[in-house]
Amino acid sequence: YSAKPNNGHIAAAQMEERGIIKAVVTQNIDGLHQKSGSKEVIELHGSIHTATCSHCHQSIKANEYLPKFIETGQIPKCSICKGIIKPGITLFEELLPMKAWQDADRLSQECDLMIIAGSSLEVIPASSIPQQSIRQGAKIIIINYSPTFLDQDATCLFHEGIEVILPRLNRMLL
């Protein structure tokens, strides 16, 4: 909750504001893209800032249950039906949120350039999104400390941090 956006998050938000980036598709659950000012954020693995009742599917904000859970360790219960409250994140072996997946898939088919920032591209099915863009003829820029299986397909490749490269790209595009 106390984490702050880094310069990469801020640069992405600035590029979105200027129309260079259409959307941010992220596997992160921390909400740092929104904190930095990004408006069109597709959270493939959900958000730690929301929760859902596992029985009646009521959606609630995490700040309504999380502080008490952290303090007491008691599993939170729904105020309506007493079902178990589940964090709004994708847990192991769960399906990704359908709307987020459909939005990411649509964007991957429409884009002419995809920036892959800070991803090892090892998490399936999210790792297939850039492949879809490549099949549609898009160029890709990869920014990641370690090599990925798509490095050979990248138009530009940076083995450095997003907090360094995205601000540089943003300044270059001004």
Catalytically active residues, by annotation: 45
The backbone region for 19, taken as left when phi is positive above 0, alpha when psi lies in -120 to 50, beta otherwise, is left
Return the SS3 of 14: helix
The backbone region for 29, taken as left when phi is positive above 0, alpha when psi lies in -120 to 50, beta otherwise, is alpha
Give the length of the chain: 174
